[in-house]
Chain A
Amino acid sequence: MIMTIASIMFAGLFYLAAVLFAGGLAYRIRDYARTPAPLKIPTTPAPLTKGGVALRMAREVVFFESLFKSNLWTWGFGWLFHAGLALVLMRHLRYFIDPVWSWVAFIQPFGKYAGLVMLVGLCGLWARRFLVDRVRYISTPSDHLMLALLITIAASGLLMTFVSHTDVIGAKNFFRGLMHFGPQPLPGDVVLMLHLLMVAVLMIIFPVSKLLHAPGVFFSPSRNQADDSRDKRHLSAWAAQLEAKK
């Protein structure tokens, strides 16, 4: 097979997207990590120990505990979307790994339908942006575009899974080629190209958008601090300098 111009462009795009995604995210995470939290500000009641904090964070990340307390609709749609996305991402490992790990093969049937769940969640979240006046008020064009982007990714993916199958072997060869720095041609399927283009866009905007909520939650002082301020002295470097002055 010959490398079409489209294949070359997609190969370049995905290298660029991967570098910006990984580099940008690493930069952000480093930035969050090195910025001090000078005061103890856990939202109480908070766990008294580090182990308790890990549990609180796990409940937050896996079950969206706080959102559950807030609003069952947002929680329901949000959780369906994220859980669906997680399964879909795991299922997609099969396009990068050879031979396919057995657990990835096992979740394949669930992963296929998880795409539908994801789409339902996204549509519910988008509907809220129109139907609830408070959420409508705070929505920016980028909030809508983000949902449009994700829905395009989900819908084009579902189209290839359930309606017009694409050449998955060819797609896998393309990505395996990228991983081994020996680019392979990309199947000339418009739906696949749309799907991949949107994924690349998502990767590129990740480190400069609200998608930073994903690493951000782990660095949130109101969630990741233990309630032990009376027992341990918590002093940031710049706060300690104030003491040295006296």
Chain B
Amino acid sequence: MAAEIKAPAYRVFPIAPAVQPGAMAETKSFVASDKIQEALGFPGQLVEDWHDRAIAKMGDLLEKYRSFKVFMDACVHCGACSDKCHYFIGSGDPKNMPVARQDLMRSVYRRHFTLPGKYFPKLVGARDLTREVLDEWYSYFYQCSECRRCSVFCPYGIDTAEITMAAREILDSVGYGQKYSNEIIGKVHKIGNNLGLPGPALADTLEGLEEDVKDACGVDVRFPLDVKGAEVLLVTPSADFFAEPHIDSLIGYGKVFHAAGISWTVSSMASEAGNFGMFIGNYEQLRKIALRVREAALELGVKRIVVGECGHAWRVAYSFWNTLTGIGAGADDPYAIQLQSQLDHSYKQPMHICELTWDLIERKVITLDPEANDKYVVTFHDSCNVARGSNMGDFFGGQFEIPRNIIKAAANHFVEMADGTTREQTFCCGGGGGLLTDDLLDLRIKGSLPRMEALQQVVDEHKVNFMACICAICKAQFTKVLPYYGFDRRVVGGVHQLVSNAIRLGDK
């Protein structure tokens, strides 16, 4: 058995660690089986002619994605990103520096797609795509959570996430996929959600939830499933249906809808907001998974589509749904108009649950009693995909202000973590981007180091005992890693968990 996994020590000075080459070279998530791969239309195993097919796929992606092409060319090796990745900070492995992670791909790009790399490979750091390089890709491109923190600091906006996505797409296309991500995508197609919760079980769960809430607060809060003609379709991460602390936020959404008198429903066909198609960089999968929401919306005839607390799902919904499925506004093509004419455009489409709740609070449709959360000193962890891949409201930086506004309305004690660890510079929880699997636990613990340091500071200085966030992956990741750093796992919870505690449920 491997040695016991321990959390790294906090840094005495919060500066970049010294490089330790090879520190994470052995870290490699489980490879997908034939069955998992073939269910998604990928080759079951590494194909014979993997080299030529990988290079051809790279050429194909260079033609399809301007981001990939420009990012391959533009890097000057200035090092601005080199100390910005949480996995580098936690592990010291130089290949976890964003620039070095990109260079795993860039070196092959230079060899095959640029003149200097063809004729003077050593000079420009170009290399052939050998089996060792391919294995290195698999190892290190599954040590990136696609959190985009590096892209904030790059003078050319180079986003390592785009390169990681391209690498994973190439790896999948030659039959070298990751078990965790690809298995989950298979479940979405087969069962409807990432956790493989079938329709009847979902119905049972929601019914049970109604009873629990009735017992707890004496109010008949409904959690409806597949109700045609409901106003709102709620698309939320499936973890919200039974994982802790996720479910407390689901109860919060239900109470908000109840108190505001908005009819809503969950769909068994689209019982998952998460979209791991983004993690593996596969446009077809990304689109196919998103289309379930379009179909559910058309079938149920809803007027609004609202997304629950899930970071990458909100990035996909906010930034990509209009492109992928027409869920949004402003289209002039028949395909998108079919759906857009059904939606109520006095509301943003799609809408984040936080936008909905904050709007109701502002308009005094719902009332919160912040004293209900007086036992908590709350801080807020900005989830990476919300912070750097989306927005909320109609103003610059709404994705930072709106969740904080809700927290301040729901609780009396709120403190911020240190500058440089929040808002656009927030640190990933360490488990995003397809890495939330136990075979990568060591990496996840190391990657959470910068967030844990920031949390420790506000715990010491302000007695913080609740770190709110709006992402299912963050919640699951922190629940797992907090104990390694000596915290109680219940320190993490959802924003709507606080709302749930504080909301006044009249007899509306």
Contacts and interface: CB of A to CB of B under 8 A. Distances in A.
B153 A234 contact: no
A6 B47 CA distance: 56
Interface string A227-244: 101111111001110110
Contact of A36 (B66, B287, B332): B66
B155 A60 contact: yes
30 contacts: A31-B69, A37-B65, A39-B319, A39-B320, A41-B389, A43-B388, A45-B396, A45-B400, A66-B80, A67-B78, A67-B155, A69-B152, A70-B155, A134-B19, A134-B82, A138-B77, A138-B99, A140-B125, A208-B115, A210-B73, A213-B155, A222-B157, A222-B159, A223-B156, A223-B157, A229-B319, A229-B328, A230-B322, A231-B329, A242-B284
Given A41-B159, A66-B155, A231 B79 contact: no
Given A32-B66, A36-B64, A233-B336, A41 B319 contact: yes
| Count class of interface residues, chain A | 35 or more
A242 B156 CA distance: 31
B153 A69 contact: yes
B206 interface: no
Contacts of A133: 18-19
B148 interface: yes
Contacts of A40: 319-320, 323
A51 interface: no
Contact of B159 (A43, A128, A238): A43
Q: Max chain B CB contacts within 10 Å: which of A67, A69, A140, A220?
A: A220
A35 interface: yes
B153 A208 contact: no
Interface of B is mostly: loop
4 pairs of A and B residues whose beta carbons are closest in the complex = A216-B74, A140-B125, A70-B153, A222-B157
Interface stretch (B116-124, B359-367, B368-376, B496-504): B116-124
Interface stretch (A97-105, A141-149, A158-166): A141-149
A230 B348 CA distance: 7
Q: Max chain A CB contacts within 10 Å: which of B284, B319, B348?
A: B319
Interface residues of B, number: 81
A140 B77 contact: yes
Given A142-B116, A230-B350, A45 B397 contact: yes
Nearest to B84: A70
Nearest to B420: A69
A41 B80 contact: no
Contacts of A134: 16, 19, 79, 82-83, 94, 97
A231 B156 contact: no
Contact of B94 (A69, A74, A137, A210): A137
Nearest to A57: B157
Given A44-B391, A213-B73, 10 more contacts: A35-B69, A43-B389, A69-B152, A139-B77, A209-B124, A212-B74, A220-B67, A220-B70, A229-B328, A243-B335
B73 A44 contact: no
Contact of B157 (A66, A209, A235, A242): A66
A229 B153 contact: no
Interface string A26-66: 00100110011111110111111000000000001000101
Given A43-B148, A213-B76, A238 B64 contact: yes
A202 to B, nearest CB: 14
B351 to A, nearest CB: 9
A169 interface: no
Given A134-B94, A231-B329, A222 B320 contact: no
A239 B290 CA distance: 14
A95 interface: no
A78 interface: yes
Nearest to A128: B79
